[in-house]
Structure 1
Amino acid sequence: MGKIYSYRLKFYLNATHAMRWSDQIGEEHPHTWEIICQVMKKEQNHFIRFNDIEDQIQKIIEPLQNQFLNTLAPFDKTNPSLENLGDYFFDEINLQLHEINCYLHQLEIGESPTRFYVVNNE
């Protein structure tokens, strides 16, 4: 069996959100979400710099820094839960990485040091 290579990068998102329930909205509260991305190249012999990967991922995360997520699309209509944040970041980061001939293999997003949600690319 051959080796499989990937890049692993960690980011932090500081923002607030409030959970929506069927008949009410919770209190706005802050989080520092930890986002860990495992990135793979589409072509193994293709050279890629860590900075290039970081720049592409920051294009997705940076606009949400220090914001109230409930007021931003898609979370103005979708509950900004850990699971929905994970799905959003996985899809948006994966799409962004295609610009540099990479793809997102796995994303982990944590709302605390002990609670993470993981999304994988099959």
Structure 2
Amino acid sequence: MNQKVFTYKLRTFINASHAVRWQGVQGAEHPHTWELILDIRPVDGQFDLKFEDIEAVIADSVAPFHGQFLNEVPPFDQLVPTLENFAEQLFDLLSEALEKISCQLHDLSVGESPTRYYSVAINSEK
């Protein structure tokens, strides 16, 4: 028999701008409403938290990016703030924060537009 897996799927947004550097040349600054879709699983099998508890951790974690020019916010003052790099950095940041409340970030999709998303996930293959 298959074992059930419990997952919350939560969505949030970050309004921030960036400028991508390619081959040593920085493009023009432009804004995005970045959409984050998080698949979160409990570490112990079932959730003992309210939505609000998880959402507060997420909001606190992404707050430093709101309304900012990402190129001036660490680590993007040194790392090119592409969609891919932003998603990977957010995955690590959110994973660490959610672990503190016994949650695991299983998958994070970050969209810079309604048609462009990049996902980072835990490889659950054994």
Please tell me the residue identity of whatever aligns with 2:102.
N
List structure 1 runs of 4+ shifted beyond 4 angstroms.
none
TM-score for the superposition, normalised by structure 1? 0.96
Q: Deviations over 1:11-44 (max 9, x none)?
A: 1010110001122110000000100000000012
> Partners in 2 of 1:46 and 1:68 — Cα distance?
36
Q: Which residue of 2 aligns with 1:103?
A: 104
Aligned residues: 122
Please state how far the C-alpha of 1:60 moved relative to its aligned partner.
Answer: 1.6
Show the 5 A alignment for 1:1-122.
1-122=2-123
Please state how far the C-alpha of 1:62 moved relative to its aligned partner.
Answer: 1.2
> Partners in 1 of 2:103 and 2:24 — Cα distance?
42
> Partners in 2 of 1:103 and 1:28 — Cα distance?
34
Please tell me the residue identity of whatever aligns with 1:57.
I
> Partners in 1 of 2:65 and 2:79 — Cα distance?
15
Please state how far the C-alpha of 1:113 moved relative to its aligned partner.
Answer: 0.8
Please tell me the residue identity of whatever aligns with 1:24.
V
> Partners in 2 of 1:13 and 1:98 — Cα distance?
21
What is the Cα-based RMSD across aligned positions, in Å?
0.9
TM-score for the superposition, normalised by structure 2? 0.93
Please state how far the C-alpha of 1:49 moved relative to its aligned partner.
Answer: 1.0
C-alpha contact (below 8 Å) 2:6/2:46 kept by paired residues: no
Please tell me the residue identity of whatever aligns with 1:105.
H
> Partners in 1 of 2:73 and 2:113 — Cα distance?
22
**Sequence identity of aligned pairs in percent?**
42
Unpaired segments of 5 or more residues in structure 1?
none
Unpaired segments of 5 or more residues in structure 2?
none
Please tell me the residue identity of whatever aligns with 2:88.
D
Please state how far the C-alpha of 1:46 moved relative to its aligned partner.
Answer: 4.6
